[in-house]
Chain A
Amino acid sequence: MSDDDSDRDDSIDSEQMKTDRYGFQGGSQLENCSDDTVVGRVGMRRERKWVSMTNDLKSWKRWMRWRHKKVIERCRKGIPSSVRGKAWQFLSGSYEIQKKHEGEFDKLLSQKVDESVMRDIKKDIGRAFPYHEMFSKNGGPGQRELLRILQAYSVHNPSIGYCQAMAPIGALLLMHMTTEDAFWCFVTVCEKYLSGFFSPGLEAIQLEGQVFYALLQRHAPADKLNIEPLMFMTEWYMCAFARTLPWSLVLRVWDLLFIENVKIIHKVAIATIKLTFDSKEKLDSSSSMHDTLRRLKNLPAEIFVNNALLREANDISITDKDLEREYKAIQNSETTIN
């Protein structure tokens, strides 16, 4: 292991500022290599299928009802970027929720906000994705709209208010839809997909840490991990990898988040551990806790080549029943201790 000390996340070359296809101008998530976006005939065919599926709510509901497996399969292949925003709204159900609550977003924004919450939000909107063209400019439109989403949510759900992991999520959604659409999608993310992750006390995330550890033991040899999962998995889970992976992969994970829920986060987390500590040689070099943490922070680039990470994740089978069993086992062991 080299003693190289560069902090990759904070390097930006302002003289040669390039913007990648996702709007990043620097930082660790800038895509330097060619990604796996499908172009050409296959890409166009996929796009047509998605356009037809998401054409209107009625046809979408038919798809979800009668051809749910097909929808999952198509999500696994990746949602074409042109329809991604709309597809996420349909998948999450935020499209319908928004229809039922017309005018609510503006109402929320006109209400009084807790001062300290507002101060925390304002401190963070420039720090969500400081190297993304939409959010890098202080006081720019991206930051302003992100502020509106977070402000409205803190009024919509005051028991949760604002938590720092929320800003990257709000920003991620804003990259794909209008502010009001993004707000309602954000509501579903906070309340359905990453449910409880942001609540004061963070019990949910600590519980997921235990579940993750149990699942890891089933799916990868447990001796590979010599540290407490909460030492590294908090950011992975709370942002659903939005701050961790190359951006093209973040989007693919989110395509699946809306259909597989937290299962996809567990799968990607397990696959990351498996691939990062795959061979004997790699395992030896990560014998100390410090080295393990270092490897998990600067994930080796080869795990992303040819979509290896996502393929590995999709090969892992975790069902709702599996999760339930783990939750119950943890609950039981806690009651025994108590």
Chain B
Amino acid sequence: MDEVHTTKVVLLGRTGSGKTSLIVRYISSVFSENVKPTIGAAFSKKTVQLIHGEERKQVVLAIWDTAGDERYESMAPLYYRNSSAAIICFDLADRQSYNKVDFWVKELVEKVEQNCKLYICGTKTDLLAEYGGPLKRAVGPTEVMAYAKKLNAKFVETSSKSNYGIDDLFKLVAADFAGFTLCEAPPIEDSLRLQEPNQTDVNEKSSCCF
């Protein structure tokens, strides 16, 4: 019998930063251009199996999606309390969206009592010119990385449309929680993908609601 651990993960970020799309892609493996804005919050879960040599662990990710509309901020503590990981999303092509990241970081640092690991997630790489998209990066990767380093946070980039980096992100969250070391995230200039070491095998089964 594998050891089973459950951990709460919350997604935060400005409206339209792609939180719901990220979760829908991860849980249901689909992408839709027009995802309805989240009202209040939504919950889903997925089980990640981590195998590292002899050691096996199952991590159940209890994922809370939150509303990006600033109006819901007063209710946010209800959804992020007791989280052991927070994924703070921003749209890579939208400076305003990035500016909101710091708001959530400060809020979590101030209000979450236990150790909550921070992940800063730049979304929608498919829209960037360097990936053949129409838009320019609104914020340079060096700036985000310096910021993330200061916070001891991890920085990843994803695209829900092209399914880029998403499984890796949640694997990383699960592995960090279980105390497994996946191959450290390589510097973003080298590769935006997280490399998975050969000896660590990750299987997933999922279940979703919301």
Give the B-binding residues of A (Cβ under 8 A): 1-7, 9-12, 120, 123-124, 126-128, 130, 136, 163-165, 167-168, 198, 200-203, 206, 228, 230-235, 238-239, 243, 290, 293-298
What residues of B have a CB within 8 angstroms of the CB of A297 in the complex?
42-43, 209-210
**Which of A6, A127, A293 meets B37, CB within 8 Å?**
A127
Chain A nearest Cβ from B93, distance in angstroms: 13
Q: List 7 A-B contacts (CB under 8 A).
A: A3-B206, A7-B30, A10-B30, A120-B69, A163-B69, A230-B40, A294-B43
For the complex, is B78 an interface residue (Cβ under 8 Å from A)? yes
Known contacts A10-B35, A206-B75, A228-B78; is A120 also within 8 Å of B15 by CB? Answer: yes
Residues on A with C-beta less than 8 A from B41 are 231, 234
A39 to B28, CA, bound (A): 39
For the complex formed, measure the closest distance between the CB of B167 and the CB atoms of chain A, giving whole angstroms. 14
Sorted nearest first, the 6 A-B pairs with minimum C-beta distance are A234-B40, A294-B209, A130-B34, A7-B28, A297-B209, A235-B39
Q: By the criterion CB–CB under 8 Å, are A127 and B207 in contact? A: no
List residues of chain A with CB within 8 A of the CB of B69: 120, 163-164
Q: Is the interface of A mostly helix, strand, loop or mixed?
A: loop
Q: Mark B177-210, 1 if CB is under 8 A from A, else 0.
A: 0000000000000000000000000000111111
Q: How far is the CB of A181 from chain B (nearest CB, A)?
A: 25
> From B205, which residue of chain A is reached at the shortest CB distance?
A3
Cβ-neighbour of A124 out of B37, B42, B78, B79 (below 8 A):
B37
B71 touches A5 (CB 8 A): no
Whether B16 sits at the interface, judged by CB under 8 Å, is yes
B68 vs chain A, min Cβ distance (A) = 8
B71 touching A230, Cβ below 8 Å: no
Residues in B neighbouring A295, C-beta threshold 8 A:
209
Could you say which residues of chain B place their CB within 8 Å of the CB of A234?
39-41, 72, 75
**Chain B's nearest CB lies how many Å from the CB of A166?**
10
Given A120-B69, A230-B40, A238-B39, verify A4-B30 contact (CB < 8 Å).
no
Least CB separation from A167: chain B residue = B37
Q: A298's contact among B15, B39, B209, by CB below 8 Å, is which?
A: B209
Would B210 and A293 count as touching, CB distance under 8 A? yes
- Known contacts A7-B30, A164-B69; 12 additional CB pairs below 8 A are A2-B207, A5-B28, A5-B206, A6-B208, A130-B35, A163-B71, A164-B15, A202-B74, A202-B75, A234-B72, A290-B209, A295-B209
Residues in B neighbouring A243, C-beta threshold 8 A: 36, 39
Query: What CA separation (Å) do A231 and B82 show in the bound complex?
Result: 14
Those of B4-57 within 8 Å (CB) of chain A: 15-16, 24, 27-28, 30, 32-37, 39-43, 45-46
